[in-house]
């Protein structure tokens, strides 16, 4: 353990040296999560073992918060490293604190934000280190979803890689105690670091900046998902619509262009009235409404008639998520007949590729003449699913061979550069996480900007929101902004 410190206020220079001495900041060669090799590694988790450092860091964060022009009523630390920092500030300055849950174990029943707050209350986000700004933004978005206002964030160390600009573009002002450059200066002056070490870090910072809005590193190295933008030409929706021969994909892309929306709502409610009411409210924000008619307890053909009327009123297409997975002759009957008569009203349905191309041929026999289309499930969002690697590649090939009827995929990232094929991604929420049954969530930016998909499919992020129309508006905005970021 470190030697006890006197209780006098520690200068920022001394604090930086202490952080270096306890190895909260290390220099060398470190492989980051993204695969990039970094000459500096900053991990402030260790400071919980040094209470005097913890207290000093939180005092500096508090001082920085006094520069906020907006008054805040509470604090929220970004989990986990900043939780003890926020706690120290809260107890010392009698400032109420909120905790953001990182894992929504029992999604839908558990609160994402713990603590008491008033709707519209303003909260300050507290963080240890900011690189791209995405962790601060995630916590801010979780707070905003709970109707808590966030205008400012404080951070001990800004790595100067574009985080402050990115947060600014999201309406959040970042107040930092120290920058990485300042830290380097102090460590050089105190002879902890040599000139060449400092130069390596400075070069690294300069070459690894994040773009505000898109979150894409400018040098594009390392992270495979980041490379999609550079790997192919990005077409806008209108151009892609003109390249489509299938009338359904053409119409869907035209709707996306007109409504500025790449949002599909998954209307997974169990009564017809509830679904219709939800769809009427979120209709202006979506390009597609996805249904599971077999979970409706009171289904009658009247439901599909009313849904079709809403589709005309709000200009969206209907996608029945039936996930056909049988031999051709069986799916032909399932699609055209039974009590649901899916092919009569759903513009789009989907199928697993596991039975082979017979499943497409069966569906096509019914759907083609009715101007319907199908998407294939190439990848899934659930933990441990088997749709990956060769299976996903074979699914893409199958789609390309039946491009008169198959218009795209359910997937987790872009699988082909063919601009006429649409990529639709479920497992989307404004913050990353899981539910208790293996569903995994990623954010609209991750789906559209980083992974190059086209459509975000959002279920409970909207259906369980207090105000589904407002939630849909937020997802529409986030999805469309992520689309525009590809052109920067
Ligand atoms: O891999 C998949 C494929 C689909 S179609 N993962 C999914 O979650 N889905 C569907 O998307 C799922 O059936 C549900 O209707 C929706 C996701 O809902 P959420 O509430 O988890 O957003």
173-205 pLDDT, tens digit each: 999 999 999 999 999 999 999 888 898 898 888
Is the CA virtual torsion 98, 99, 104, 106 positive or negative? negative
CA 290–ligand 1 middle distance (angstroms): 10
Percentages of the chain per state (helix, strand, coil), in multiples of 5: 45, 20, 35
464 is catalytic: no
Q: Who has greater pLDDT, 465 or 218?
A: 465
Of 26-35, 104-113, 381-390, 458-467, which gets the smallest average pLDDT? 104-113
Concerning whether 326 is annotated as a catalytic residue, the answer is yes
Q: Ligand 1 center to residue 159 CA distance, Å?
A: 37
Q: What is the pLDDT of residues 364-373, one digit of tens each?
A: 999 999 999 9
Q: Ligand 1 pocket, 269 CB below 6 A?
A: no
| C-beta separation of 98 from 115 below 8 A | yes
Pick the atom of ligand 1 nearest to 429's CA.
22
Q: Which CATH superfamily is domain 237-484 in?
A: Aldolase class I (3.20.20.70)
User: Which residues, at least 6 apart from 206, have a Cβ–Cβ distance to it below 8 Å?
Assistant: none
Q: Is 450 in the pocket of ligand 1 (CB under 6 A)?
A: no
Q: Tell the residue number behind the tokens 């569903």, with chain if given.
A: 439
Distance CA 38, CA 27 (A): 9
Long-range contacts of 392-396 (CB under 8 A, 24+ apart): 394/353, 395/353
Which residue intervals of the chain bear CATH 3.40.50.2020? 12-225
Nearest CA to ligand 1 atom 7: 426
Residue nearest ligand 1's atom 17 by CA: 459
> Which ligand 1 atom is the nearest neighbour of the CA of 458?
22
Among residues 147, 149, 326, 418, which one is catalytic?
326
Residue linked to tokens 């916590």? 139
Which of 20-34, 70-84, 308-322 shows the lowest mean pLDDT across its residues?
20-34
317 — phi, psi (to 5°)? -100, 165
Query: Which regions of the chain carry the CATH code 3.20.20.70?
Result: 237-484
Give pLDDT tens digits for 240-273: 999 998 999 999 999 999 999 999 999 999 999 9
Q: 382-420 burial, b if ≥16 CB within 10 A, otherwise e?
A: eeeeebeeebbeebbebbeebbebbbbbbbbbbbbeebb
CATH topology of domain 12-225: Rossmann fold (3.40.50)
How far is residue 379's CA from residue 415's CA, in Å, rounded to a whole number? Answer: 10
In angstroms, what is the span from residue 426 Cα to ligand 1's centroid? 5
Query: Catalytic one among 168, 313, 323, 370?
Result: 323
């Amino acid at each position: 353990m470190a030697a006890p410190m006197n209780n006098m206020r520690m200068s920022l220079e001394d604090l930086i040296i202490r952080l270096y001495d306890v190895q909260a900041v290390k220099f060398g060669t470190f492989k980051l999560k993204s695969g990039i090799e970094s000459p500096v590694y900053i991990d402030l988790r260790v400071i919980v073992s040094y209470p005097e450092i913890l207290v000093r860091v939180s005092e500096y964060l508090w001082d920085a918060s006094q520069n906020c022009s907006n008054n805040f009523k509470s604090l929220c630390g970004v989990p986990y490293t900043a939780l003890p920092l926020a706690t120290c500030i809260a107890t010392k300055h009698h400032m109420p604190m909120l905790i953001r849950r990182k894992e929504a174990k029992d999604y839908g029943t558990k609160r994402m934000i713990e603590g008491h707050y008033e709707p519209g209350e303003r909260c300050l986000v507290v963080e240890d280190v900011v690189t791209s700004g995405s962790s601060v933004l995630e916590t801010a978005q979780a707070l905003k979803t709970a109707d808590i206002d966030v205008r400012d964030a404080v951070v001990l160390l800004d790595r100067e890689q574009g985080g402050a600009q990115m947060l600014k573009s999201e309406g959040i002002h970042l107040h930092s105690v120290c920058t990485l450059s300042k830290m380097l200066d102090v460590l050089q002056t105190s002879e902890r670091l040599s000139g060449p070490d400092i130069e390596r870090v400075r070069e690294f910072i300069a070459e690894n900046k994040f773009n505000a809005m898109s979150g894409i590193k400018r040098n594009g190295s390392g992270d495979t998902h980041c490379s999609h933008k550079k790997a192919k030409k990005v077409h806008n929706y209108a151009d892609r619509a003109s390249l489509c021969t299938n009338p359904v994909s053409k119409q869907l892309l035209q709707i996306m262009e007109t409504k500025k929306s790449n949002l599909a709502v998954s209307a997974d409610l169990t009564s017809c009235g509830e679904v219709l009411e939800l769809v009427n409210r979120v209709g202006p924000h979506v390009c597609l409404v996805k249904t599971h008619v077999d979970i409706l307890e009171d289904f009658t053909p009247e439901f599909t008639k009313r849904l079709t009327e809403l589709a005309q009123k709000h200009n969206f297409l209907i996608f029945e998520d039936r996930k056909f997975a049988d031999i051709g002759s069986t799916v032909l009957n399932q699609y055209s007949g039974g009590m649901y008569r899916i092919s009569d009203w759903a513009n789009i349905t989907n199928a697993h590729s596991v039975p082979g191309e017979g499943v497409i041929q069966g569906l096509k026999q019914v759907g083609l003449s009715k101007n319907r289309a199908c998407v294939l499930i190439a990848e899934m969002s659930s933990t441990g699913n088997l749709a990956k690697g060769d299976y996903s590649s074979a699914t893409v090939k199958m789609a390309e061979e039946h491009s008169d009827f198959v218009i795209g995929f359910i997937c987790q990232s872009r699988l082909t550069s063919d601009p006429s094929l649409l990529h639709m991604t479920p497992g989307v929420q404004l913050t990353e996480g899981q539910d208790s049954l293996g569903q995994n969530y990623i954010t609209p930016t991750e789906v559209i900007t980083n992974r190059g998909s086209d459509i975000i499919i959002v279920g409970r992020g909207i259906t369980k929101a207090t105000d589904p129309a407002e939630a849909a508006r937020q997802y529409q905005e986030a999805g469309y902004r992520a689309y525009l970021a590809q052109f920067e």
